[in-house]
Structure 1
Amino acid sequence: MTALEQISALQDRMAQSIIGQKDVIERLVIGLLANGNLLIEGLPGLAKTRAVKAMATNLEADFSRIQFTPDLLPSDVTGTEVYHQGPEGSQFRFEQGPIFANIVLADEINRAPAKVQAALLEAMEERQVTVSGTTHKMPPLFIVMATQNPIEQEGTYPLPEAQTDRFLMHVQVLYPPVEDEVEVIRLVRGEEQASASGGESTPPDAIPQQAVFDARAEIGRIHVSEAMDRYMADLVQASRTPAALSEDLARWIEIGASPRGSLALDKCARAHAWLKQRDYVDPADVRAIVHDVFRHRIALSFEAQGEGKTTDAVVDEIVSLVALP
């Protein structure tokens, strides 16, 4: 099987256990292929955790889940030096924390205090952890998928902009249509019946990690024209100088996207084009992922919030005003 066939099989398997969230599954796969970390936001019960687990189950990868709580310590995430005493003498050994896995689910990341959130920064950005002056490398396949609940504010610690900017995309999980809700009921009922009767079928072989690395190599060869480079840069620049486009945008945008936004647009657009079986990037690829890339990088003004404007609505306005290549 080619890398594209294997990644498509991964998507299909995830879709079998996650009903009505095709866009979310695609964004998770794009994040995996683009070698970036994802922030997944949605109301309770929308299968955020289930989606990440479905990817880890169907991929040949080590999975680790960290449940973030207010009393969590940085060492609970990264690991710590532990004193060992044996026949050969005493020494300190580094005991790896749950961050050392291929796919790390940081569940309810905004429930942990800032020092614990900061413990993820080096792992997310540098793909390494430094403890007691010693640097420990993360595995070659490494991705952090963090979830958060947008409606609960008590007992939560909002992520600082410096950390949210390190997430490749901010994926929103919405309620499924009523037809898909019916399928969800039937799916879970069938799983419960199969578990009670002991009739669970043998799962297919997991997709090998090499398929991801092969896909990344192919994505690196996707052609991006100079016009597309300029289009992505123009979108980012429009978020920084909104007054050049319209008075409304100038009133709505407080802070624009960082240079990481430009890099994320390029990576995600190439991954999206590859999934669509094209060897070049066109404006449709950029427009398909621009909301997920900008959603956590554009800060709205108080005036925009007072008018009930959302970041997605502001991004829609930017996309409509920036000229196509």
Structure 2
Amino acid sequence: MKGQKGKGQKYFTPALLRRENCINTLKQCPINQWLHINEFIRLMIANKDFLPITQEPSFLYIGDQHYGEIYDGEFLVTAYMRCLLMEYFFTLGLIDIAYCHPTESTDNYFSSENYWDLDCLSRYDGLAYLRLTPLGAYVLKIKDSYIQTKKVSQTNLEFVGRHNIQFKQPPSVNEKIFLTNYAEEKKQNLWVLSSDKILSYLENGGDLNELQSFLKNRDTQPYFSNSIESFFKTMESNKSAVNNKGDFKLVTCQSKEVATNIASAPKLKNWCQQVSDTQLIYPKDKHNQFRILIHQLNYGMPI
């Protein structure tokens, strides 16, 4: 779906309002009963919660900007709601979903124009059915209480070697899914903690306490070893070791003298830095200002 950052950007309806409308419709769904996605959309229309994604869908297009222009606002709402339901409500456990391969979906909303020749629009096309869970009913304040009826599986484990996790028996599917955020499976029942995976998860807002609680609840030993404790402290300490301060441009000067003169100029030295004999870096958003100031030093920079 292209054109979202072009002229059509200002015509999008508020994302928060779209989410609230979806919540209003979910509140009307029967608890623990499967509902086809088309029925959900019809329920949304009946509740007058069918909010257009954009006031001007023609600014959006698929493939070619001219031949792929979009005019069907209802198609956009259906596509967006599938994504919202899967990425937001399903991942929180508020709904269950029945999913098929996107190319096997019976929906043909994405082929309403002859110019589109697509097997599917996105992976979300595979969302066929959904059902509101008891947890979802509680979170959405339909029910006053929630009691977890399923027993959480906990497979005993122990640490072997440096960062290896050995399960006493095959872990459950949920345990495997959880561990994939933090570890690699080396062979059956044996996993190894991965600093790359852990840091990637922490960089995106993950919490190391979740992993530590998971392991402590299953570890046959009462305490972590010193090496494991040290590993966790290092991960927690280093998760923000490097911070992105924006994009920079790297330029190469004709000589060391030119680079030094530019880097030491009064109007440049606070944000232009010499990184080698002939190379400079400066913030990308100051590119035009950089060019003007080096002109004042009688230096040119070919476009």
Higher helix fraction (1 or 2)? 1
TM-score, normalised relative to structure 2:
0.25
Q: Which structure is richer in relative contact order (CA contacts within 8 A, separation 6 or more)? A: 1
Relative to the length of structure 1, the TM-score reads 0.24
Greater radius of gyration (CA): 2
